[in-house]
Structure 1
């Protein structure tokens, strides 16, 4: 095996025999029967068998090898734009050969371009020919030989014998065989069938993956995923965590000052919704246990997740432990810090404690003081970006970790934050250290099937109610040909005392993408509305400058904020009532919904305008149309999430392409919910009663991906 082939196989993850046999075809070609040339339809991919009548190199319109072949029914040309002398020699006049390719009509008559060639004296295959995903350095024939060899070598122990059905009943994919009885495909049968299906199998059942062999593979994959998540939950529950019981409110002469969470409820100035109270109780119950909480707090844009997180932090701090809150961007982290500082700093100051801020671009002296306060325990609440998990940060007693927009952090970052403090404490004391509780927040609601699959090891709390007084946001699609009208409307709004966002996909002009950019749009709007103060915000600006612009907009000093997607989450300006999203067709559905959530936070009627490109260069793709249609039709974040999952699929939805986590290759959450339900019920039974088969099943499917799954 050459280094290039080894590299290509490694890139595809084809290391073990099981990896090869689980590398299933993209499609199939039928080379089991020869079709007479005259009967081949235009556009049909067929196998012909014919004799070479002529073989010559033509130089016009470009250098190519043209071979004329004929059978008893007619003739056609085989054209090769790239060829070797050996190929020309193998197609000498009089040679009988088989060619497999797409038959085309045209000016030169019937022809095939770059067909696959075979010797005519070999027996015809008895099964469809698989076409596999390949990479640079690999060829189909070579990979086919490797997979055939792997199928011959491997022994596939059945990990789903009938005894495993005792708890949940038979799998929901059994089909009648020829005798009318029910038959369950073994894994070995399913794989051998899918690599070499007989020619009479209905191709549609292979293409839409509804064939029982495909169903068996989907069950296998979903079960591996469920087993791994349940196993991770077992591993996590074996660790110890601080039991952070809620301090109860008692008589003042007995209890002294009020518990911190009770003081916070008096400070915030609004009543919690029923949904907020429910999830606070769920989180508090988890934190009171001596096993690590691993809970996802999800809620639509503006549902009030921050105050829930603040109450969880208060419970933690009241128990004498520190809390860390991490956000993916400095702007979002800064917004959290400002809000939590306003709520909690006076309460903590009365106890001689404080809220600390950690970010990547702090001045050295300021950072050193913050690190010292964290290490001493004076800083009870630490808010920041990924700077919170750097090696220089050493908590005295970390009890709770809160991660906002958790899907935007890499797997390694989440693992580091959860494990590093525990490991340090263990090294210092020599004892089993306590692992902090973890609360992850997401403003992108997770559809049920996705939560069952990717978050099977998590407890999920859902805020399914918006606070009273939120104004519904009207969403409108506007073509960029009406840009001037839109600017005039914006001018009227801001002159009446309202504020507006104008979001662009790029910072500066790009030679590659013909998209409006924030800098040019800022200058255009300034020229069109010179009497309105405006701000420009993007990720390349210095931190102090970004903070000044955000402060100006939040205070009302700036009427319009032109920005990139740095304002996607966390920005809360109740007076802002208009959101314009330029080139909306280029944004993801979740991102559009998050941006829309920046308006409608006050009592004024609010609107979100999706400005999309028109003209020949701006034709919308079907996916872009689906996204924009969904935005206009619903404001419900859960419905948006469901449609986003349909459009993008689970990999893109979860961001796991970037994180390296295992994706579902075969199962489809849109069509295979019944299989997911069955495997979800079976997984804990297998771990309890047949741990040997469960372990073998996970090793077969997941290999060494455990660390990623544990995040």
Structure 2
């Protein structure tokens, strides 16, 4: 084939040129992701306006959203503190004052005296009668619409009139081309609403509307449509869309499971008298029943020639690290390497120290070692680590995201362990899995944020989940106290008393340095204050901007007891284990997420001393915390159960906190609500494997319709 002429632009340049040629509204549509006809068909209204009838002023009540039609009797621009356009509209049964603070000559011309207009807005009470502020205005005379007017999610560059027309056109084209055809077989669709009870207008035994019926109804609802059910997304049309979306998610995850089952992975076995058994014998503590059960689940997975894809979840302090160490021993016993990746250098360093303490003596006898790999290493140290990894001398590699960089070549990577997996993005997790050419490494992901049931059923349905639901003996309960910031001096005095008795304490702040934008107590400011208030005591400072060597030196000093108090940002949120630390103070606790507060509280109570967590909160002007902040702090006082904390956090913040970048910023659930729609999740879970087995072609069409290019995100 002859080469293309050099004057022709490459495809990407042509595509960019085509985008530049689009009008501003067309570019705005693309920005919203509205490219395909199906994208437009699935762009659903936020709310509706009823423009199907005219209300007489004499029949309207204050507070009603009404549409009136009348003749302009008077217009003036009132001067004074703020210019405003005042227009008096007479509909024959009364007059209404229309008030505009933002107006242009074109609007004044449209509303000239004698013009007959149709206006829509909320009716308010004024000194001289009814008033509307900034109503929607149009010329009278056009036929009244026969259906409710949808109001769509939009941008500043996209007028509702343009967007409505685009959506209606896209919906019509999608319908004409057969894109709205049924992909859910009738026998599976029949049970879609079976688990629903008490939903408005929903009869569990009645057949749901088709996708086509649901979409046309939601884009063009009749005047008598139940607005409350539409707004709350519990109308059967909404439920149909939610069920389809959840089914697409379940199908993609079941397919991911099937695809992994077809891949090859090394079969890893526990060897008699191998590292696994030697580590168990050398540990200075006995495993809990939960740790033994979970270790056996993982060992069974590793013994299969298909890649493991398992999430190990457990509350703060449940002992996930030793379970990961035992899994690593299974890999190393079989002659394969293991990599453990953590999101921060502090957490990775904690893992490295603990795993080296447990495993280095055992590996040394085999001529192997534990390697350390981070981005902050000196060149010579890094080169030695890379060489050891490539030769296989490094049987276990611990580090940060540096572990997945291109120049890291494993001799035989059999197991990848990712700690705090929600802190890593899709691309990073996929890169670690691709370090073994021709085969997949087994993948063990760990999280100290327990996954609520509905999230496990939906967004984590492609994973096998192991749960550490038992804490090791010796963990002391942590007393949680809620104290207003104006009592900060009392907290510092209490801190002084505790430190004089040999205790150690954390003091966590949300910022590193003072900010003009946020009036929050900064770490540097607090460090200076505490150092002055605690003479003779060593007060350290730790934050993410410090060089790695300095962070390690500070943590080593605190862990060894040389430092009495550590002022820190949230870099100590996970993994930090200092048993002598018995007091945690969290500044501006109202600004932290619930799971984050629970993680921070988990840094104390790890030894035998009675421990406490003080939540210092700032009362804003007006004297009342926001509702979400109040609920977070209330939950911290009421429970120490990480699973209950996770359930409440999901209700308060939605699934983003738990998923992290699992979907790479593209929310896979646009319509379904994990709290509200559990019966639909259950239906989708049961329908997905049946559909894949009996209707594979329809399953593929369904996933493509709903997820398109986003399908791969769930495989990570």
TM-score range, shorter chain: over 0.9
Please list every run of 5 or more consecutive structure 1 residues that lacks an aligned counterpart in the other structure. Answer: 250-257, 426-432
Structure 1 partner of 2:299: 284
Distance 1:543 1:599 in 2: 24
Please list every run of 5 or more consecutive structure 2 residues that lacks an aligned counterpart in the other structure. Answer: 1-20
Distance 1:651 1:178 in 2: 30
- Deviation per CA, 1:153-178: give whole Å up to 9, x if none: 11311112313358x68754699999
Please state if 1:378 is matched with 2:378: no
Structure 2 partner of 1:238: 262
Q: Shift of residue 615 of structure 1?
A: 4.8
Question: Which of 61, 69, 78 pairs up with 1:58?
Answer: 78
Let me know the Cα RMSD of the aligned residues.
2.0
Could you state the TM-score of these two structures normalised by the residue count of structure 1?
Answer: 0.94
Q: How does 1:595-614 map to 2 (within 5 A)?
A: 595-614=600-619
Please state if 1:496 is matched with 2:496: no
Residue 124 to residue 601, structure 1, CA distance change in 2 (3 Å):
same
Please state if 1:561 is matched with 2:566: yes
Distance 2:200 2:531 in 1: 71
Kept in 2: contact 1:509–1:517 (CA 8 A):
yes
Distance 1:169 1:72 in 2: 52
Q: Shift of residue 35 of structure 1?
A: 1.5
Distance 1:11 1:651 in 2: 21
Structure 2 partner of 1:184: 208
Distance 1:356 1:304 in 2: 22
Could you state the TM-score of these two structures normalised by the residue count of structure 2?
Answer: 0.94
Q: How does 1:437-448 map to 2 (within 5 A)?
A: 437-448=442-453
Please state if 1:93 is matched with 2:98: no
Kept in 1: contact 2:526–2:567 (CA 8 A):
yes
Question: Which of 456, 477, 480 pairs up with 1:475?
Answer: 480
The SS at the match of 1:110 is strand
Structure 1 partner of 2:432: 417
Distance 1:210 1:296 in 2: 33
Distance 1:184 1:45 in 2: 32
Distance 2:349 2:28 in 1: 44
Distance 1:355 1:131 in 2: 59
Q: Shift of residue 335 of structure 1?
A: 0.4
Question: Which of 309, 316, 325 pairs up with 2:340?
Answer: 325
The SS at the match of 1:182 is coil
Residue 617 to residue 365, structure 1, CA distance change in 2 (3 Å):
farther
Structure 2 partner of 1:212: 236
Q: How does 1:29-40 map to 2 (within 5 A)?
A: 29-40=49-60
Distance 1:497 1:415 in 2: 46
Query: What is the count of residue pairs matched by the alignment?
Result: 691
Q: Shift of residue 707 of structure 1?
A: 2.4
Structure 1 partner of 2:32: 12
Q: Shift of residue 536 of structure 1?
A: 0.7
Structure 1 partner of 2:11: none
Q: Shift of residue 71 of structure 1?
A: 1.3
The SS at the match of 2:697 is helix
Distance 1:330 1:176 in 2: 52
Question: Which of 116, 139, 155 pairs up with 1:119?
Answer: 139
Q: How does 1:235-634 map to 2 (within 5 A)?
A: 235-247=259-271, 249=272, 258-419=273-434, 421-422=435-436, 425=437, 433-616=438-621, 619-634=624-639
Mean alpha-carbon deviation: is it higher for 511-520 or for 128-137? Answer: 128-137
Kept in 1: contact 2:193–2:203 (CA 8 A):
no
Question: Which of 90, 102, 105 pairs up with 1:70?
Answer: 90
The structure 1 segments of at least 4 consecutive aligned residues displaced by more than 4 Å after TM superposition are 168-181
Kept in 2: contact 1:41–1:103 (CA 8 A):
yes
Q: Shift of residue 662 of structure 1?
A: 3.0
The SS at the match of 1:592 is helix
- Deviation per CA, 1:61-105: give whole Å up to 9, x if none: 333332211112211122233333333222222221110112222
Distance 1:390 1:346 in 2: 28
Distance 2:332 2:129 in 1: 82
